Structure 1
Amino acid sequence: MGLHESPLLFDFELVSSEDLTYMPMSVRFNLDRFGLRISLAQWQLLPHADRTLLARFPVDEDASIEPNFDHALFEMMRTHANVEPDWFTPDAEPAWRNGSAVPASVVEHSRAAGAPVPSAERWGQLDPFKRYVLSKLTRKSEPSHDFVPAMREFGLME
């Protein structure tokens, strides 16, 4: 699978990420997949064309499908920010990969937002990338303003 024709953005991201000032979830997914970390300030140092290219990479879990994200990011960061991304060891079994159990953070955020808690069955029917997004949006204790819109967009609430 090659690059998408345009940046991969969910509807709930359009307000904050359409101009790519902020990192879209697709870029966050690939950073996490490859064990790379860059700051928002570093992201914003990249030219818009480079940010657009990074947001067009596939979000499949199979790293062999498109192994060039990490290489592209390193080159862009060296060229435009004179830094390299930080490395970390990705979680081998993140909670979002388990399609049979809703992560505790998603349950807690659903309850705090007054949203229905997804059933294990419905959670398992979600595309893995959508499970990643919901998990990512619930990684901090304070609620994300994108959580409820994402739940709506993914068909988990009205």
Structure 2
Amino acid sequence: MHLYQRLPIFVFEIEACENLKFITMAIRFNLDRNGQHLSLADWQRLPQAARETLASCLPGDDDFAARLDEIARDHLGRAVERSVDPASTAWQDTNTLPPGLLRQCELADLTPPDVGDWATLPAFRRYVLTKLSRRDTPNHCFVPAMLEFGLARTPAEL
């Protein structure tokens, strides 16, 4: 069984995250939710089994922070840092599309979703789209995520 088949990984993440070389969106969510920061370099220093343990945590897992701190102490020699920049909470507002999402739609030449469609998305999916939209440059995962979440159509569907 492939790793992605037993972990909370979106289809658009499989190529980058299948071997857990990169941090999954579920882990990013848990890091942001707990005000923790883990660099990619530190993530890659963790043994594969530790990465799999963390990657198996569902978004919003209440035990994630303690589990990460324990793993970091065991394998990095210290607890993880606390994030100095609070994560955006724009994804929590179901009445307004985040400005970054609108910008990414414009950059990708996509029609933004309706606010009603945004509001009905599960919170974790809203978080993912907001996280993918935080920069002013195109994000290569944004369009695949929009397609996967049913918020964009392929040219064949138009």
TM-score, normalisation: structure 2? 0.88
Residues 66-75 or 27-36, more deviating: 66-75
Inter-partner Cα distance in structure 2 for 1:39 and 1:8: 20
Aligned position for 1:73:
68
Counterpart residue identity of residue 91, structure 2:
W
Secondary structure, aligned partner of 2:137: coil
| 1:34–1:90 Cα contact (<8 Å) kept | no
> How far 1:91 moved relative to its partner?
4.7
Aligned position for 1:55:
55
1:134-154, CA deviations, whole angstroms, 9 ceiling, x for partnerless residues?
000011111111000000000
Residues 77-86 or 24-33, more deviating: 77-86
Is 1:114 aligned to residue 133 of structure 2?
Answer: no
> How far 1:27 moved relative to its partner?
0.2
Inter-partner Cα distance in structure 1 for 2:126 and 2:16: 20
Is 1:15 aligned to residue 10 of structure 2?
Answer: no
| 2:32–2:87 Cα contact (<8 Å) kept | no
Aligned position for 2:93:
98
Is 1:37 aligned to residue 37 of structure 2?
Answer: yes
Inter-partner Cα distance in structure 1 for 2:135 and 2:102: 13
Inter-partner Cα distance in structure 1 for 2:27 and 2:87: 19
Residues 44-53 or 27-36, more deviating: 44-53
1:92-146, CA deviations, whole angstroms, 9 ceiling, x for partnerless residues?
9811001111101101110110111011111001110000000000111111110
Is 1:25 aligned to residue 25 of structure 2?
Answer: yes
Which runs of 5 or more structure 1 residues have no equivalent in the other structure? Answer: 61-65
The runs of at least 4 consecutive aligned structure 1 residues that moved more than 4 Å come to: 89-93
Identity %: 38
> How far 1:68 moved relative to its partner?
1.5
Aligned position for 2:156:
none
Is 1:156 aligned to residue 157 of structure 2?
Answer: no
- What's the RMSD between the two structures over aligned residues? 1.7
Inter-partner Cα distance in structure 2 for 1:22 and 1:150: 17
Is 1:145 aligned to residue 133 of structure 2?
Answer: no
Secondary structure, aligned partner of 1:57: coil
